Amino acid sequence: MSTILIVDDDHGILTAWRRLLRAEGYWVDIADSGEAGLIAADKMRPDLIVTDLSMPGMSGVEFCHLLRRDPRFLAVPLILASAEHENFYGAPAWDEAWKKPVAIETILASISRLLQGLLD
Protein backbone atom coordinates (compact mmCIF):
# COMPACT_ATOMS: atom_id res chain seq x y z
CA MET A 1 0.00 0.00 0.00
CA SER A 2 1.45 3.36 -1.02
CA THR A 3 1.70 6.13 1.57
CA ILE A 4 0.82 9.74 0.82
CA LEU A 5 1.43 12.84 2.91
CA ILE A 6 -0.83 15.86 2.35
CA VAL A 7 0.39 19.22 3.67
CA ASP A 8 -2.15 22.07 3.63
CA ASP A 9 -3.40 24.67 6.10
CA ASP A 10 -6.99 24.27 4.83
CA HIS A 11 -8.57 21.60 7.04
CA GLY A 12 -11.42 21.10 4.56
CA ILE A 13 -8.96 20.09 1.84
CA LEU A 14 -7.02 17.86 4.25
CA THR A 15 -10.22 16.04 5.22
CA ALA A 16 -11.61 15.71 1.69
CA TRP A 17 -8.38 14.59 0.03
CA ARG A 18 -7.57 12.16 2.87
CA ARG A 19 -11.03 10.55 2.56
CA LEU A 20 -10.74 10.33 -1.23
CA LEU A 21 -7.30 8.76 -1.17
CA ARG A 22 -8.08 6.36 1.66
CA ALA A 23 -11.13 5.18 -0.30
CA GLU A 24 -8.73 4.42 -3.17
CA GLY A 25 -6.59 2.25 -0.88
CA TYR A 26 -3.78 4.63 -0.02
CA TRP A 27 -2.44 5.10 3.50
CA VAL A 28 -2.67 8.86 4.10
CA ASP A 29 -1.22 11.17 6.73
CA ILE A 30 -1.80 14.92 6.95
CA ALA A 31 0.01 17.99 8.24
CA ASP A 32 -1.29 21.55 8.49
CA SER A 33 1.99 23.44 7.96
CA GLY A 34 5.33 23.07 6.23
CA GLU A 35 7.07 22.58 9.56
CA ALA A 36 4.63 19.83 10.59
CA GLY A 37 4.99 18.35 7.10
CA LEU A 38 8.76 18.01 7.50
CA ILE A 39 8.29 16.18 10.80
CA ALA A 40 5.61 13.91 9.33
CA ALA A 41 7.73 13.16 6.24
CA ASP A 42 10.68 12.25 8.43
CA LYS A 43 8.54 9.89 10.53
CA MET A 44 6.46 8.20 7.84
CA ARG A 45 8.76 8.31 4.77
CA PRO A 46 5.86 8.70 2.33
CA ASP A 47 5.88 7.43 -1.23
CA LEU A 48 4.39 10.74 -2.47
CA ILE A 49 3.78 14.20 -0.99
CA VAL A 50 1.15 16.79 -1.95
CA THR A 51 1.65 20.29 -0.55
CA ASP A 52 -0.18 23.58 -0.76
CA LEU A 53 1.71 26.62 -2.03
CA SER A 54 0.36 29.26 0.34
CA MET A 55 0.69 28.38 4.00
CA PRO A 56 1.59 30.52 6.99
CA GLY A 57 5.26 30.34 7.88
CA MET A 58 6.89 28.04 5.35
CA SER A 59 5.53 28.15 1.79
CA GLY A 60 5.02 25.04 -0.28
CA VAL A 61 7.92 26.08 -2.51
CA GLU A 62 10.26 26.32 0.48
CA PHE A 63 8.92 22.99 1.79
CA CYS A 64 9.68 21.28 -1.55
CA HIS A 65 13.18 22.77 -1.71
CA LEU A 66 13.97 21.59 1.82
CA LEU A 67 12.80 18.06 0.98
CA ARG A 68 14.90 17.98 -2.20
CA ARG A 69 18.02 18.84 -0.18
CA ASP A 70 17.54 15.65 1.84
CA PRO A 71 18.82 12.53 0.01
CA ARG A 72 16.04 10.44 1.58
CA PHE A 73 13.42 12.41 -0.37
CA LEU A 74 15.13 12.88 -3.74
CA ALA A 75 13.05 10.15 -5.40
CA VAL A 76 9.77 10.98 -3.64
CA PRO A 77 7.32 12.63 -6.08
CA LEU A 78 6.18 16.07 -4.92
CA ILE A 79 2.99 17.80 -6.05
CA LEU A 80 2.52 21.52 -5.44
CA ALA A 81 -1.11 22.68 -5.33
CA SER A 82 -2.22 26.30 -5.52
CA ALA A 83 -5.41 28.31 -5.93
CA GLU A 84 -3.32 31.15 -7.31
CA HIS A 85 -1.58 31.33 -10.66
CA GLU A 86 2.09 31.66 -9.90
CA ASN A 87 5.12 32.01 -12.13
CA PHE A 88 8.20 30.40 -10.66
CA TYR A 89 11.70 30.96 -11.91
CA GLY A 90 14.37 28.32 -12.12
CA ALA A 91 13.95 24.56 -12.01
CA PRO A 92 11.00 23.54 -9.83
CA ALA A 93 11.62 21.26 -6.87
CA TRP A 94 8.29 19.50 -7.46
CA ASP A 95 7.23 16.96 -10.06
CA GLU A 96 3.78 18.31 -10.84
CA ALA A 97 1.61 21.35 -10.07
CA TRP A 98 -2.15 21.39 -9.53
CA LYS A 99 -4.42 24.39 -9.87
CA LYS A 100 -7.09 24.36 -7.13
CA PRO A 101 -9.85 23.41 -7.26
CA VAL A 102 -8.57 20.09 -8.58
CA ALA A 103 -10.87 17.55 -10.21
CA ILE A 104 -10.99 14.16 -8.51
CA GLU A 105 -10.02 12.51 -11.80
CA THR A 106 -6.92 14.72 -12.01
CA ILE A 107 -5.90 13.92 -8.44
CA LEU A 108 -6.25 10.17 -8.91
CA ALA A 109 -4.64 10.03 -12.36
CA SER A 110 -1.72 12.21 -11.32
CA ILE A 111 -0.98 10.26 -8.15
CA SER A 112 -1.30 6.94 -9.94
CA ARG A 113 1.07 8.07 -12.71
CA LEU A 114 3.69 9.43 -10.31
CA LEU A 115 3.61 6.35 -8.10
CA GLN A 116 3.79 4.07 -11.14
CA GLY A 117 6.94 5.91 -12.15
CA LEU A 118 8.54 4.74 -8.91
CA LEU A 119 7.87 1.13 -9.88
CA ASP A 120 9.23 1.38 -13.43
What domains lie within the chain, and their CATH numbers?
Answer: 3-119 (3.40.50.2300)
What pLDDT score does 25 carry? 97
What pLDDT score does 54 carry? 92
Q: How many CB atoms are closer than 10 A to CB 84?
A: 8
pLDDT tens digits in sequence order for the chain, 120 residues long: 899 999 999 999 999 999 999 999 999 999 999 999 999 999 999 999 999 999 999 999 999 999 999 999 999 999 999 988 666 655 689 999 999 999 999 999 999 999 998 776
What pLDDT score does 83 carry? 87
Question: Could you give the angle at the alpha carbon of 3 between the alpha carbons of 88 and 68, nearest 5°?
Answer: 35
48-52/3-7 β-pairing: parallel
Query: At a CB cut-off of 8 Å and minimum separation 6, what does 12 contact?
Result: none
